[in-house]
Amino acid sequence: MNIIVCIKQVPDPEIPPVKFQIDPEGKKVIPPDGVTPVISVFDERAVEAALKLKDKYKAKVTALTLGPDSAKAVIRHALAMGVDAGVHIQYEAAGELDSFGTAHVLMKAIEKIGDYSLVLCGRQAADWDAGQVGLLIAENLGIPVVTVAKKVDLQDDKLRVESVIQDGYHVMEVSMPALVTVSSEIGLSRLPTGIGIVKAARVKIENLSVEDIGADIPEARCTELIKLYVPVRDIQCQIIEADTVQESAEELAVRLREAKII
Amino acid sequence: MEISREVFWNIEYGLLVYVGLLLPLLIGYAIYRRYSLWQLGKAEDRFEQGRIKAFITEAIGILLHKRLLGIGPLPVSPRELYAGAMHFLIFWGIVLLLVVTALVAVHDHVVKFMHGTPYLVISFLGELGGILALAGIIMAGVRRYVQRPDKLDSKLDDAVTLVLLFLLIVTGFVLEALRISATVPTPEWERWSFIGFGIASVLGMEKVSLLPWHKGVWWFHVIIFYGAAIYFCLSWSKLFHIIISPVNIFFRSLRPKGALVPIEGIEEAESFGAEGIKDFTWKQLLDLDACSNCGRCQDNCPAYLSGKPLSPKKLIQDMKISMEAAGNVHEEEPRALIGEVIPDDDIWSCTTCRACQEVCPVYVEHIDKIIEMRRNLTLTQSRMPEALEAMVGNLFSRGHPWTGAQFIRLRGDWMEGLDLNMLGEKKEIDTLFWVGCTGALADRNAEVTRSLARILKSAGVEFAVIGAEEPCCGDPSRRIGFEILFHEQVQQNIETFRKNNVKRIITACPHCFNTIKNEYPQYGGEFEVLHHTQVLADLLRNGKLKTGGGGEFKRITYHDPCYLGRHNNIYSEPRYVLDRLALPDVIEMSRFGRHARCCGGGGGRIWMEEPVGTKINRMRTDDAIETGAELVITACPFCLQMFEEGIGAKGPDNTALTALDIVEVVEKGLA
Ligand code: SF4
Ligand code: SF4
pLDDT score for B16: 67
Nearest to B440 by CA among B479, B469, B475: B469
Pseudo-torsion of CA B354, B356, B357, B361, nearest 10°? Answer: 160
Question: How far, in Å, from the CA of B356 to the mean position of ligand 1?
Answer: 6
If you average pLDDT over residues A192-219, what whole number do you get? 87
* A14/B379 Cβ within 8 A: no
Exposure b/e, B538-558, CB count within 10 A at least 16 = b: bbbeeebbeeeebeebeebbb
Sheet-wide strand order for A178-182: A168-175, A158-165, A145-155, A178-182, A118-122, A2-7, A60-67, A85-90, A206-209
pLDDT at B489 over 80: yes
Decide the pairing of beta strands A158-165 and A145-155: antiparallel
Decide the pairing of beta strands A158-165 and A168-175: antiparallel
In this predicted structure, which of A108-112, B384-388, B547-551, B593-597 has the lowest mean pLDDT? B547-551
B354 Cα nearest atom in ligand 1: 1
pLDDT at B1 over 60: no
- Compare CB distances from A33 to B270, B375, B412 and report the shortest one's residue: B412
Interface check A18 vs B, CB under 8 A: no
CB B564 within 8 A of CB B515: no
Helices B116-142 and B78-109, axial angle in degrees (round to 10): 150
Percentage of chain B beyond pLDDT 70 is 96
Question: How far, in Å, from the CA of B162 to the mean position of ligand 2?
Answer: 19
pLDDT score for B192: 81
Q: Which helix (H) or strand (E) holds A65?
A: strand A60-67
The residue whose CB lies within 8 Å of the most ligand 1 atoms, and thus the one to mutate among B260, B314, B367, is B367
Q: Which helix (H) or strand (E) holds B324?
A: helix B312-326
Residue whose CA is at the smallest distance from ligand 1 atom 1: B352
How far, CA to CA in Å, does A63 sit from each of A109, A195, B70? 11, 18, 61
CA distance B222 to B214: 12
- Compare CB distances from A16 to B269, B408, B482 and report the shortest one's residue: B408
A–B: how many Cβ contacts below 8 A?
A: 77
pLDDT score for B343: 96
Phi and psi angles of residue A206, each rounded to the nearest 5 degrees, phi first:
-80, 120
Residue whose CA is at the smallest distance from ligand 1 atom 4: B350
More reliable by pLDDT, A65 or B6: A65
CA distance B613 to B307: 4
The sign of the torsion formed by the CA atoms of B614, B616, B622, B626 equals positive
CA distance B122 to B539: 58
- The model's confidence at residue B225, banded by pLDDT at 50, 70 and 90, is confident
Domains of chain A: 2-209 (3.40.50.620)
Question: Which residues in chain A touch residue B406, judged by CB atoms under 8 angstroms apart?
Answer: 12, 14-16, 35
Question: How far, in Å, from the CA of A209 to the mean position of ligand 1?
Answer: 53
CB A32 within 8 A of CB B426: no
* A192/B410 Cβ within 8 A: no
pLDDT tens-digit series, residues A79-111:
999 999 999 999 998 888 888 999 999 999 999
pLDDT score for B550: 63
pLDDT at B180 over 70: yes
Question: Which residues in chain B touch residue A191, judged by CB atoms under 8 angstroms apart?
Answer: 382, 389, 392-393, 396
* A16/B380 Cβ within 8 A: no
Distance to chain B for A159, nearest Cα, Å: 30
Nearest to B561 by CA among B472, B441, B661: B661
Q: What is the identity of the amino acid at B435?
A: V
If you average pLDDT over residues B543-555, what whole number do you get? 80
Within 8 A by CB and 6+ apart from B215, the residues are B10, B11
Please name the residue ranges forming H helices in chain A.
41-56, 72-81, 99-113, 133-141, 194-202, 245-258
In this predicted structure, which of A73-77, B221-225, B230-234, B650-654 has the lowest mean pLDDT? B230-234
CB A104 within 8 A of CB A112: no
CA distance A35 to B471: 10
pLDDT at B75 over 70: no
CB A215 within 8 A of CB A105: yes
- Compare CB distances from B397 to A33, A34, A38 and report the shortest one's residue: A38
- The model's confidence at residue A161, banded by pLDDT at 50, 70 and 90, is very high
Question: Which ligand does the CA of B153 lie closest to?
Answer: 2
Interface check A242 vs B, CB under 8 A: no
Question: Which residues in chain B touch residue A201, judged by CB atoms under 8 angstroms apart?
Answer: 267
Nearest to B214 by CA among B163, B168, B171, B184: B171
Please name the residue ranges forming H helices in B64-155.
66-69, 78-109, 116-142
CA distance B248 to B390: 39
Question: How far, in Å, from the CA of B343 to the mean position of ligand 1?
Answer: 15
By three-state DSSP, how is residue A237 classified? coil
Q: What is the DSSP letter of A84?
A: S
- The model's confidence at residue B341, banded by pLDDT at 50, 70 and 90, is very high
CA distance B125 to A75: 77
Which A-chain residues 154-193 have CB contacts (< 8 A) with chain B?
A: 190-193
CB B347 within 8 A of CB B314: no
Is any atom of ligand 2 closer than 6 Å to the C-beta of B296?
yes
Decide the pairing of beta strands A9-10 and A38-39: antiparallel
Nearest to B337 by CA among B291, B274, B251: B274
Within 8 A by CB and 6+ apart from B451, the residues are B661, B663, B664, B667
More reliable by pLDDT, B456 or B13: B456
Distance to chain A for B345, nearest Cα, Å: 20
Nearest to A62 by CA among A37, A89, A36: A89
Distance to chain B for A191, nearest Cα, Å: 6
Distance to chain B for A169, nearest Cα, Å: 29
Q: Largest alpha-carbon pair distance within chain B?
A: 100
B316 Cα nearest atom in ligand 2: 1
If you average pLDDT over residues B593-599, what whole number do you get? 92
Q: What is the identity of the amino acid at A240?
A: I
If you average pLDDT over residues B333-348, what whole number do you get? 91
Query: ipTM of this predicted complex?
Result: 0.77
CA distance B383 to B392: 12
CA distance B466 to A230: 29
CA atoms within 13 Å, Cβ hemisphere of A6: 34
pLDDT score for A241: 87
pLDDT tens-digit series, residues B269-303:
888 999 999 999 999 999 999 998 899 999 999 99
CB A86 within 8 A of CB A205: yes
Q: What is the identity of the amino acid at B43?
A: A
CA distance B100 to B306: 48
Residue B611 preceded by cis peptide, ω within 30: no
Interface check A30 vs B, CB under 8 A: no
pTM for the predicted model, two decimal places: 0.88
Q: What DSSP assignment string belongs to B258-308?
A: TPPPPPTTTTT-SS-S-SSGGGSBHHHHHHHHH-----HHHHH-HHHHTT-
pLDDT tens-digit series, residues B91-140:
999 999 989 988 888 887 778 887 888 888 888 899 999 999 999 999 99
Question: Which ligand does the CA of B318 lie closest to?
Answer: 2
CB B258 within 8 A of CB B112: no
CA distance B225 to B229: 6
CA distance B514 to B431: 17
Within 8 A by CB and 6+ apart from B181, the residues are B200, B203, B204, B205, B206, B207, B210
pLDDT tens-digit series, residues B129-177:
999 999 999 999 999 999 888 888 888 888 999 999 999 999 999 998 9
The residue whose CB lies within 8 Å of the most ligand 1 atoms, and thus the one to mutate among B366, B594, B595, is B366
Nearest to B266 by CA among A167, A98, A194: A194
Q: Where are the domains of chain B?
A: 78-242, 277-383, 393-540, 556-669
Q: How far apart are the first and last CA of chain A?
A: 61
Nearest to B92 by CA among B132, B56, B125: B132
CA distance B492 to B505: 16
By three-state DSSP, how is residue A152 classified? strand
pLDDT at B12 over 70: no
pLDDT at B344 over 90: yes
pLDDT at B623 over 90: yes
Long-range contacts at B649-654 (CB < 8 A, ≥ 24 apart): B649/B615, B649/B618, B649/B621, B650/B618, B650/B621, B650/B625
Within 8 A by CB and 6+ apart from B534, the residues are B570, B573
If you average pLDDT over residues A40-60, what whole number do you get? 95
pLDDT tens-digit series, residues B495-505:
999 999 999 99
Interface check B404 vs A, CB under 8 A: yes
pLDDT score for B2: 65
Mean pLDDT of chain B: 90
Is any atom of ligand 2 closer than 6 Å to the C-beta of B291?
yes
pLDDT at A140 over 80: yes
pLDDT at B30 over 90: no
pLDDT at A118 over 90: yes
Question: How far, in Å, from the CA of B257 to the mean position of ligand 1?
Answer: 14
Q: What DSSP assignment string belongs to B598-645?
A: P-S-TTTGGGS---SSS-HHHHHHHHHHHTT-SEEEES-HHHHHHHHH
* B484/A198 Cβ within 8 A: yes
By three-state DSSP, how is residue B320 classified? helix
Nearest to B568 by CA among B641, B503, B513, B638: B513
Q: Which helix (H) or strand (E) holds B439?
A: helix B437-441
B298 Cα nearest atom in ligand 2: 4
Residue whose CA is at the smallest distance from ligand 1 atom 7: B301
Distance to chain B for A30, nearest Cα, Å: 15
Nearest to B313 by CA among B342, B337, B333: B342
Report domain B277-383's class: mainly alpha
If you average pLDDT over residues B238-255, what whole number do you get? 89
